[in-house]
Structure 1
Amino acid sequence: MKGRVEFSIVKLSEIDNIKGRLDAEYYKRSYLKLEEKINAIGKIKIKDINVELDCSAFYPSITEYYNFDFEGVPFLRVNDIQNGLVTINSETAFLPQFVLDNNPSTIAIAYPGDIVIAKGGNTLAKLGLVTNEYPYYALSRDLILLRTKNIKQINKYFLWAFLHSKYGQDLLWRTASQTGQPHLTLPSIGEIGLPRFMDDFENKFESLYKLSIKYKDRSVKAYQEAENYLLKAIGLKGLKLSEENINIKNFKESFLATGRLDAEYYQPKYEDYINLIYKYTNGYDLLGSVCNIKDKNFNPEDNIEYKYIELSNIGKSGEITGCTIAKGNELPTRARRKVNENDVIISSIEGSLESCALIPKEYDNALCSTGFYVINSKKINSETLLILFKSELMQNILKQNCSGTILTAINKNEFLNIPVPIIDKNAQEIIRLKITESFNLRKQSENLLEIVKRAVEIAIEQDEKVAIEYIDMYLSI
């Protein structure tokens, strides 16, 4: 009803018991009802389960040491959290070990099985489980760390699942400090009450997570098999590249032919890659002849919601790990490319050229940044295009053709004129099947994580018996 006002009546004694918070937001009906439910189930506070709360302090500027080549120690920032997990991608910064050694008391270190939470801003309470992809991770100041190595009385995977659920998120938002910009503090997180269930029920969340990881590992294996098959098909396996640092070209062979005078462009290794394409048994053609490029700007309507894909949403195996959902008038001006199912998007920016992805059905008609080229082809299927452009071969050719001063990128003319091997149809079909298998396995892995989150919510809304039935129903499908 228009003009309706929500209010809650709370006893003064109850206010005293909750740290003297007097702001109305803290006493929303939904928060009070959730608190009642958790109290009825039985609860234990985070500070009482032997979880160590930590965060990075005010370390000196370290941006000059960032690299984005997956070398060193991952330096986690908020964008590295996707769908409840720490997800390493081409936008993840890495630090050399000596930076951590020089700042042992100011840069916090997280290990697999720990939990990280965004401290404030519009990403407040965004939460991720630290995976075992790397042995340890450094944390930015924007994250709070829950170390779970010595956790007691509760399963750490249940803790993660609960905090990632809508009810855990409500508690994190409720406990955020309201002075200035809302933000989380270590003491406030320690006071959060967790619902207690039977050990057998909580242990199911560990089993589900580990099953999800198995599916993910199988997905990566299928992707690697497709990648290896392509490399073998085009002759890149075992290719010996020139190690020469000098390449002598006359003016006609250099500037008049290419318009380039920078020495980087003429590295002998690039000629080795180009010659490999020229000699490919099934032939080659220029990209502009092989592929359709979709570069027409799309103007989003102000009040329509769109899915928007940017660099940080691209996973290492060509998958899309998430998106921003926003109305047209809230999107950045670079959100001007419309994509459709089976399109392939390729980053044009040097330093993130490996950010290529295949558009699945759920992102049909989504938008992506103008920093991507959007292509499809009638000669090469989309799965093969993805693997091809993420391969060492095409990555080097893309890099060779990047130019610019402030922002180095490959322009449209250069992109259209790079040579592309026309992969044999039989090889394309094998690659298509492997990538389809990889994507299906990854989807199964993601679905299990959604089941984990929903099962916690059902246990709170109804009871753990119903939640177990929900889990068993999905596992039997």
Structure 2
Amino acid sequence: MATFSAVSLSNIEYVRLDADFYRPHYLEDAKLWQRIGDKIGAVRLSHLITTPVRTGRTPSERRLLIDDVQVTFVKTDGVREGTINFESAGILPNRVLNRSDIIDPDSVVMTIIGATPDIVGRAAIIRANNPVYVTNQNVAVIKTNDKCDPYFLLAYLQAKLGRNQVWRHSRRTGQVNLNCREVERLMVPLFKPEIQRQIGNQIRRALAAADDAVRLVHDAQGLLEDEIGIIGGDDGGLVFSCATASTAFDAGRIDAEYFNPHFSAVRQQVFDFKHGFTSLYSICRSIRPNFDPKAASGTTQRYIELSNLNSVLGTVDGYMVCPSEEFPSRARRRVSAGDVLISSVAGSLDRAAMVSESEVGCIASTGFFQLRPVQVSSEFLLILTKSYMIRTQMMQEATGGILSAVPESRLRRIMVPKVPQDIQDLITSHVRESYAKRDETRQLLEQAKARVEQLIEEAVAA
């Protein structure tokens, strides 16, 4: 297999003089496109859109006023493979936006700027049941015409040939990036409308399963909230509190923030729970860092970082594969199936996920707590740690000025209600069903991508 290529000056394309654009496998793909064009037809994306590809923007004025109509603002990290994580999105006031900023349903969105190639080219689609949505300058918006099913285009952009084109046209400077005109240069195979519709419908079924997965997790959270009755905590309108010296010394804290009336109100609701309460450590144990990158020198490992955790579903959505020598110093936890990872950083306490079989052996950051259940199911522990009650207590226990985090020694102070077993079982069932729907989503997305690749191979081979 060729490891380098030589290109004459007359064959330079788009005034691109960088070597990356002419990698041998990209040039092989270019020959393949000639055969695809001869067999089934192929055109540039610019021929399949109703309006030029555009990006979003970040308004300079982003303050929210009391009467502002709020619009969902999704950035690069919210665009996942095939889906959009609206739960992690920001909010913008509608008054600072134009009508042209709003993204129409059935538009495909794709990341075009990122720190690494894996970030660039992630594509998803806006659907009619999504909230009103805008994005920033790192995400391209593609509106197809009647010659191209947008759901088929989504599958194609995630397939190998589509993604390779995105990477070929991108430029690797400080960041990996490409512009809107370069997106319009992407080649798209012209399959018959019925074939596009068949693949597109598979993507539609995948996204419907993803909706079910989110609904089931929300239902599980609702079951817990209905049982414990803690959603916001009632502080009785207090704006200050008094603490005795003995209380402060027992807590090991003398700062006023720790004794915020709201924190005390939530903790008191736990103490008043009708079935009693217990400590978090009585239903799980915290696993201490158990991996030494130096001892694994020369091996390739999978690394889970904070951005890989899906805060909506409580799942691990991916990991970075790299030599152990390139791991950050905080890569110290080897995870097992059923472990629950929760962020220890005060600003992201909503990030929690359960480790599945596919992530067994991955290395996680010490920015997580690694909890292993001993008296409850992993699924129930996940929903419990995502609850407002736990997050509020962890926020209270956080220390530090610039980047507050929860020390592991403070976990012993986290109290949890004794939830009846039948409610625990119901929550567990909902989460397991949600994970099954997530797996169905992944399977359908992979099948759609594989079908696109198969059709292209069959057409070229015919």
TM-score, L = length of structure 2? 0.85
Partner of 1:365: 361
Q: Does the 8 Å CA contact 1:83/1:322 hold for their aligned counterparts?
A: no
Partner of 1:474: none
Secondary structure of the 1:122 match is: coil
Partner of 2:300: 305
Partner of 1:267: 260
CA RMSD of aligned residues (A): 3.2
Deviations 1:263-315 (A, max 9, x none): 43333333332233223344332223332101224123233222222222222
- Pairwise CA distance, 1:56: 4.5
Secondary structure of the 2:347 match is: coil
Partner of 2:225: 231
Partner of 2:92: 95
Q: How does 1:378-397 map onto structure 2 within 5 Å?
A: 378-397=374-393
Q: Does the 8 Å CA contact 2:36/2:456 hold for their aligned counterparts?
A: yes
Structure 1, unaligned runs of 5 or more: 467-477
Alignment coverage as a number of residue pairs: 447
Q: How does 1:186-201 map onto structure 2 within 5 Å?
A: 186-201=180-195
Q: Does the 8 Å CA contact 2:155/2:200 hold for their aligned counterparts?
A: no
Q: How does 1:331-342 map onto structure 2 within 5 Å?
A: 331-342=327-338
- Pairwise CA distance, 1:235: 4.0
Partner of 1:349: 345
Q: Check if 1:407 corresponds to 2:400.
A: no
Change (3 A) 1:423 1:263: same
Q: How does 1:197-346 map onto structure 2 within 5 Å?
A: 197-236=191-230, 241-252=234-245, 254-300=247-293, 301-315=296-310, 316-346=312-342
Deviations 1:343-372 (A, max 9, x none): 111111112111111111101111222111
1:157 to 143, 151, 157: 151
Q: Check if 1:422 corresponds to 2:415.
A: no
- Pairwise CA distance, 1:324: 1.7
Secondary structure of the 2:348 match is: coil
CA distance in 2, matches of 1:181, 1:242: 47
Secondary structure of the 2:307 match is: helix
Q: Does the 8 Å CA contact 1:82/1:322 hold for their aligned counterparts?
A: no
* Amino acid across the alignment from 2:305: E
- Deviates further, 346-355 or 391-400: 391-400
* Amino acid across the alignment from 1:251: T
Q: Check if 1:433 corresponds to 2:425.
A: no
Q: Does the 8 Å CA contact 1:177/1:185 hold for their aligned counterparts?
A: no
CA distance in 2, matches of 1:180, 1:432: 45
Change (3 A) 1:219 1:180: closer
Secondary structure of the 2:49 match is: coil
CA distance in 1, matches of 2:421, 2:356: 22
- Pairwise CA distance, 1:385: 0.8
Change (3 A) 1:296 1:240: closer
Deviations 1:423-445 (A, max 9, x none): 33332222211211111011101
2:110 to 117, 120, 124: 117
* Amino acid across the alignment from 1:342: G
Deviations 1:377-415 (A, max 9, x none): 211221111111111222222222222211112211221
CA distance in 1, matches of 2:434, 2:460: 33
- Deviates further, 408-417 or 278-287: 278-287
Q: Does the 8 Å CA contact 1:8/1:27 hold for their aligned counterparts?
A: no
Q: Check if 1:442 corresponds to 2:441.
A: no
Q: Does the 8 Å CA contact 1:112/1:135 hold for their aligned counterparts?
A: no
Change (3 A) 1:6 1:309: closer
Structure 2, unaligned runs of 5 or more: none
- Deviates further, 25-34 or 334-343: 25-34
Partner of 1:185: 179
- Pairwise CA distance, 1:227: 1.9
